[in-house]
Amino acid sequence: MNEFKSGFFMGGESCNGRVLIVDDEPDIRKVVRMTLQKAGYEVLEAENGAKAIETINTGENRLLLDVIICDIRMPKVNGIEAIAYFRQNYPRVPLIVLTGFPDTDMATSLLRQGVVDYLVKPVEGEKLKASVARAMEHRELARL
């Protein structure tokens, strides 16, 4: 990964990108953070769609957020509603769905809406990292 192209500096260390994980389960946020931090990403967390929208609209996240990983079944603003908001307001930020419920119709619909990947838990760390890396490529292309 070219840190000068896709990353930025964070506390003196280079960062591969900034990822927001949106999931109501703290355990999921914890393992995703652990996996992605080890791969050099900065990870932000939101416990529901409403918090995620608040996070992306806060400070430099408007510009520097690279990828959003989003669950579907969540309180307040659910994943479907949050994704619709992100697609409308931040169409250049790639979205990955990470859900506990495999639903072919929903997956098809979301992929048509521009979601770059639809992952069903439990997903292996390598697969998650590969998906985020692909999403980062989308992000880079969008920045050109």
Partner 1 sequence: MTNPELTKSDHSASRPPAPVTTTDRLSGLDGYEGTPTPTPTKIAIVGAGRGGTAMLTLLHQLRTVEVVGIADRRADAPGLRHARELHVPVFKESADLLRITEPDLVIDVTGDAAMEKTLRQQVPGGVGILSGRSSRLLYDLVKHEFALQAELLQTDKLAGIGSFAAGIAHDMNNPLQLILGLAENLTEERDLETVHLQARDIVEAVKRTTAICRDLTSYSRRTSIHSDQVVPINAKLDEALKIARYAVGLQDIEVRKSYWPEATAIGNPDEILHVFINLITNAVQAMERGGVLTITTSTIDGATMVKISDTGHGIPPDVMGRIFEPFFTTKPPGKGTGLGLYNIKNVIHRMHGSINVESQVGLGTTFTITFPHDVRAEDGNP
Site for partner 1 in 113-142 (CB under 8 A): 120-125
73 binds partner 1 (CB under 8 A): yes
The end-to-end CA distance of the chain, in Å, is 17
Among 57, 84, 89, 103, binds partner 1 (CB under 8 A): 103
Of 50-58, 68-76, 89-97, 136-144, the window that binds partner 1 (rule: CB under 8 A) is: 68-76
Residue with smaller CB distance to partner 1, 74 or 136: 74
The continuous run of DSSP H or E covering 78 comes out as: none
Q: Which residue has tokens 């192209």?
A: 5
Q: Other CB atoms closer than 10 Å to residue 57's CB: what's the count?
A: 12
Cβ proximity of 92 and 142 under 8 Å:
yes
Among 101, 113, 114, 137, binds partner 1 (CB under 8 A): 101
102 binds partner 1 (CB under 8 A): yes
Cβ proximity of 115 and 97 under 8 Å:
yes
Cβ proximity of 93 and 61 under 8 Å:
no
Site for partner 1 in 32-51 (CB under 8 A): 32, 34-35
- For partner 1, the binding residues (CB under 8 A) are 24-25, 27-28, 30-32, 34-35, 73-76, 78, 99-103, 120-125
